[in-house]
């Protein structure tokens, strides 16, 4: 590859297969991939603000290891993400980097260790580019609660990228990384994937270790990948899944998530939930797109089955009891004593603690801390927390009953396409962005968002949500791959699009 071609190639906009084929054929080196991806971040991210920190030295060091393996003939032993530019949501610890959770509380915190999901991704040969913007402590659906400024949607800079993993989705949509990692507590992977027009997977709870990921809701959080194709996302899931002795909730997973991608949907039963399509707040363009997807699945040989989730309407209420209670407990550790923002000039520990937490946390974080504190207080706990756990059981049973009739469920990811910055100021209205995603976290099932084209009215990406039974994530990936054969892989957003590497190669 010539120097001029190397400088013009958008490596972050390539697929895993394109990068690895190019490396094997000697068309470019892994160091050129890392340098090119970092150069693109410098060139494009000033307007997008997807990254909070880049890790140039780590990326180049990882690239040199890949190049050494290529020279030694051991490239195939490196792992499924060998030579692939990746980046991580900033609630995932990476030793020696800042892990801020997009909060002033942790603005100066430097990770002393590495999260298992990050470690496994790098062990699979990935080139770590840096840390990505998010809603503060993952509290939000737009990335507007970040203490360091909102990420913009690559498709329209007047709109949000979704949240809380907005930086992760935007970086992939803009072609700044091939794969990114996000976390999903109530839709924080799937909703931004829908808004930014990329693939986003929240695997079954326990498939990926949560060790080293700053907790929001410990019974709800799950890590998953963003990518521009189902295969690339499945490869990333292969790299980071499996049991971890440091996370007691992680499970042994021996599944190859790429194994069934070519099998099609002939003979599969796909559930549709009429109540979801009729729900208040669902835009006409989203409803039309999901109906179109259902028809296409039927055309591919799948059987559509109507299923009921009678308690799904209570999921939002249960979530905003369970989530704040767990958040209150998890955020209690940020006391400004051992680490975190410490307000100066206080004579006693009590006033320092109070002032530091009041100033270190943003409005949404304070709102959820106070709500959780109230819900767990004496006289209130029995009234709300226990009933919310009972609703959780009912929702889980609803999904179990539905999966006796079908292999996978199709639903909208979000009730609408990406909204404008500042358009939604009411917290309750913002929470409704996750109306179709929250129940999956409560039940612990796997869910993903797949881009299925642009809305007829807005011209913005629409995501279809596919929901799988627990520990059968390969079912939704199989359906997603079949749909992708019709809709195509996700495109880089128009303002960031570049010629493919195949066109650029000499």
Q: Is 475 marked active-site? A: no
For residue 273, give the nearest of 295, 291, 288 by alpha carbon.
291
Beta pairing class for 408-412 and 269-272: parallel
The encoded tokens of residue 304 equal 């559509």
Euclidean distance between CA atoms 486 and 456, whole angstroms: 18
Catalytic residue among 29, 164, 165, 241, which?
A: 164
Residues 6+ apart with CB under 8 A from 166: 50, 133, 134, 135, 142, 143, 150, 151, 160, 192
The count of other CB atoms within 10 Å of the CB of residue 185 is 27
Catalytic residue among 6, 111, 146, 188, which?
A: 188
Euclidean distance between CA atoms 97 and 445, whole angstroms: 32
Catalytic residue among 6, 15, 29, 89, which?
A: 89
Q: Is 183 marked active-site? A: no
Answer for the pair 265, 211: CB distance below 8 angstroms, yes or no.
no
Q: Is 164 marked active-site? A: yes
Phi, psi for 480 (deg, rounded to 5): -60, -40
DSSP category for residue 213? B
Euclidean distance between CA atoms 474 and 83, whole angstroms: 25
- Indicate the helix (H) or strand (E) that contains 32: helix 30-48
**Cα radius of gyration (the chain):** 22
Answer for the pair 365, 103: CB distance below 8 angstroms, yes or no.
yes
The encoded tokens of residue 14 equal 């390539």
Sheet of strand 408-412, all strands in order from the earlier edge strand to the far edge: 51-54, 127-132, 85-89, 179-184, 222-227, 199-202, 446-454, 461-468, 408-412, 269-272, 303-306
Answer for the pair 176, 45: CB distance below 8 angstroms, yes or no.
yes
Residues 6+ apart with CB under 8 A from 379: none
Q: Which residues are catalytic?
A: 89, 164, 188
């Amino acid at each position: 590859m010539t120097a001029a071609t190397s400088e013009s190639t958008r490596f972050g906009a390539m697929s895993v297969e394109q990068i690895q084929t190019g490396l094997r054929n000697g068309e470019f080196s892994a160091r050129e991939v890392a340098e090119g991806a970092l150069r693109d971040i410098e060139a494009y991210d000033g307007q997008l603000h997807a990254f909070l920190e880049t890790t140039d030295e780590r990326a180049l060091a990882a690239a040199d290891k890949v190049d050494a393996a290529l020279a030694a003939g051991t490239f195939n032993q490196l792992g499924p993400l060998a030579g692939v530019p990746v980046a991580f949501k900033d609630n995932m610890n990476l030793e020696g980097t800042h892990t801020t959770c997009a909060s002033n509380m942790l603005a100066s915190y430097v990770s002393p260790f590495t999260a298992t999901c990050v470690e496994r991704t790098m062990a699979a040969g990935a080139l770590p580019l840096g840390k990505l913007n998010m809603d503060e402590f993952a509290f939000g659906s737009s990335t507007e609660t970040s203490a360091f400024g909102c990420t913009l949607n690559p498709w329209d800079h007047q709109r949000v990228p979704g949240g809380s993993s907005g930086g992760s989705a935007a970086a992939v949509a803009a072609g700044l990384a091939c794969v990114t990692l996000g976390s999903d507590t109530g839709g924080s992977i799937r909703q931004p994937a829908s808004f930014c027009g990329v693939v986003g997977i929240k695997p079954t709870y326990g498939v990926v270790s949560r060790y080293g990921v700053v907790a929001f809701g410990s019974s709800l959080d799950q890590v998953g990948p963003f990518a521009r194709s189902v295969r690339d996302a499945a490869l990333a899931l292969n790299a980071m899944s499996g049991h971890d002795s440091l996370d007691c909730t992680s499970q042994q997973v021996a599944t190859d998530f790429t194994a069934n991608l070519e099998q099609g949907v002939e003979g599969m039963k796909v559930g549709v939930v009429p109540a979801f399509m009729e729900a208040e707040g669902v835009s006409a363009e989203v409803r039309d797109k999901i109906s179109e997807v259902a028809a296409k699945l039927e055309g591919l040989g799948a059987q559509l089955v109507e299923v009921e989730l009678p308690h799904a309407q209570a999921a939002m209420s249960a979530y905003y009891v369970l989530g704040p209670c767990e958040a209150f407990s998890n955020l209690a550790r940020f006391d400004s004593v051992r680490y975190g923002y410490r307000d100066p000039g206080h004579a006693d520990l009590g006033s320092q603690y109070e002032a530091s937490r009041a100033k270190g946390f943003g409005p949404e974080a304070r709102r959820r801390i106070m709500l959780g504190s109230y819900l767990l207080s004496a006289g209130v706990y029995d009234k709300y927390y226990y009933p919310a756990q009972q609703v959780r059981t009912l929702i889980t049973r609803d999904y179990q009953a539905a999966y006796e009739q079908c292999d996978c469920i199709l639903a909208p990811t979000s009730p609408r396409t990406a909204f404008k910055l500042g358009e939604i100021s009411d917290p309750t209205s913002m929470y409704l962005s996750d109306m179709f995603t929250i129940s999956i976290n409560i039940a612990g099932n796997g869910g993903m968002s797949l881009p299925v084209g642009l809305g007829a009215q807005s011209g913005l990406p629409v995501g279809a949500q596919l929901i799988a039974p627990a520990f059968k994530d390969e079912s939704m990936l199989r359906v997603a791959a079949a749909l992708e054969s019709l809709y195509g892989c996700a495109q880089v957003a128009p303002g960031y699009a570049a010629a493919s590497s195949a066109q650029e190669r000499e």
